[in-house]
């Protein structure tokens, strides 16, 4: 059975470009967004973890949505991160993103206060009730300290505007259980699980690595869709070196992605990648992008 893909299949968790002095750079944001779509991404997620949402203002978040919406047009899904630890503030951001032109909302579990599951459920329902566009729930307990438990997701699936999950819970059993019993679209948020989650019924991925290697990220899922599971595994293995350097080297994916892109600095408390990390990142990226990719991708 083909899974529902309300926001496309290959989504990039886009970095937020800044100027050399740390201001929001909307011109670079628009250029990067346009390039990602040209190179094979089917949708964009703004102001998530990779987009440095904790250090961008409410006004910057809305301005980013408007700038990207304008450059990619209305045929490309744009999902705006609006999650905070405060239900009221999250609902306000959700309404602002909807007004700015977002197609959907990425809403993380409320963090720091570590609410129990009934409160987590109430939080998401309140946000979904505040808007007229669909939600992708962001389950990343390693950062929030709070899991969206599978049983909570089973209940939330009855809300007409809760349609997807960005899955960073590292629980394939729980994820498969929810996919089997609901119509929620599961998007991998962990690069190393993009192919495994897709193979058990996932809708696609929300990828940080796609900022620098969108064709390679897409090629894995394309091969699987073509029935070439061995080819998909091979392409995934070819991608894994860059993935490991970007996501598991002790540096945040935002930092490593920006080290490979001309999109300006990161905002404190993040710090730029040390000079010692750059040669390995650049070599792995160059090796991957120089490889011959299969046909069928945009030129």
Instruction: Report domain extents, the chain.
Output: 10-290
Under 8 Å between Cβ of 80 and 101: no
Mean pLDDT in residue range 177-194: 97
Mean pLDDT in residue range 21-42: 98
- Of 28, 61, 166, 258, which one is the catalytic site residue? 166
Q: In this predicted structure, what is the pLDDT of residue 2?
A: 59
Under 8 Å between Cβ of 58 and 84: no
Q: In this predicted structure, what is the pLDDT of residue 110?
A: 96
Mean pLDDT in residue range 158-167: 98
Mean pLDDT in residue range 34-55: 98
Lowest mean pLDDT among 4-8, 29-33, 119-123, 287-291: 287-291
Classified by CATH at the fold level, domain 10-290 comes out as TIM Barrel (3.20.20)
pLDDT tens figures, 222-275: 999 999 999 999 999 999 999 999 999 999 999 999 999 989 999 999 999 999
Is the model's pTM score more than 0.75? yes
Under 8 Å between Cβ of 129 and 158: no
Specify which residues 186 forms β-bridges with. 165
- Of 138, 186, 187, 198, which one is the catalytic site residue? 138
Does 295 score more than 60 pLDDT? no
Q: How confident is the model at residue 293 (pLDDT cuts 50, 70, 90)?
A: low
Q: In this predicted structure, what is the pLDDT of residue 67?
A: 98
Q: Whole-angstrom Cα distance, residue 256 to residue 245?
A: 8
Mean pLDDT of the chain: 95
Mean pLDDT in residue range 197-211: 98
Mean pLDDT in residue range 143-172: 98
Reference 64, options 104, 98, 30, 105; nearest CA is 30
- Reply yes or no on whether 166 is catalytic: yes
- Reply yes or no on whether 177 is catalytic: no
> CA 103: distance to chain centroid?
14
Under 8 Å between Cβ of 83 and 75: no
Greater pLDDT, 67 or 2? 67
Burial 118-152 (b: 16+ CB within 10 A, else e): eebbebbbebbebbebbbbbbbbbeebebbbbbeb
Q: In this predicted structure, what is the pLDDT of residue 298?
A: 34
């Amino acid at each position: 059975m083909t899974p529902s893909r309300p926001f496309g299949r290959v989504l990039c968790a886009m970095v937020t470009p800044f100027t050399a002095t740390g201001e929001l750079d909307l011109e670079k944001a628009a250029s990067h967004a346009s390039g990602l779509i040209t190179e094979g991404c089917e949708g964009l997620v703004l102001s998530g973890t990779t987009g440095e949402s904790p250090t961008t203002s409410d006004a910057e978040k809305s301005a980013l949505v408007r700038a990207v919406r304008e450059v990619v047009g209305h045929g490309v899904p744009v999902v705006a991160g609006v999650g905070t630890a405060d239900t009221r503030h999250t609902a306000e951001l959700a309404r602002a993103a909807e007004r700015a032109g977002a197609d959907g909302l990425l809403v993380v579990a409320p963090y720091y206060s570590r609410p129990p599951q009934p409160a987590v459920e109430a939080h998401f329902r309140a946000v979904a009730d505040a808007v007229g566009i669909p939600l992708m729930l962001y389950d990343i307990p390693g950062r929030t300290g709070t899991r969206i438990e599978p049983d909570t997701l089973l209940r939330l699936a009855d809300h007409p505007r809760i349609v997807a999950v960005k899955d960073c819970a590292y629980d394939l059993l729980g994820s498969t259980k929810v996919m089997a019993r609901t119509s929620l679209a599961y998007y991998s948020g962990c690069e190393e699980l993009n192919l495994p989650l897709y193979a058990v019924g996932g809708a696609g991925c929300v990828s940080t690595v796609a900022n620098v290697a969108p064709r390679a990220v897409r090629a894995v899922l394309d091969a699987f869709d073509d029935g070439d599971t061995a080819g998909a595994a091979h392409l995934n293995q070819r991608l894994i070196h860059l993935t490991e350097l970007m996501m598991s080297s002790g540096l945040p994916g935002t930092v490593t992605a920006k080290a490979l892109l001309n999109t300006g600095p990161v905002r404190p408390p993040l710090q730029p990648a040390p000079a010692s990390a750059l040669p390995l990142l650049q070599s792995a990226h160059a090796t991957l992008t120089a490889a011959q990719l299969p046909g069928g991708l945009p030129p």
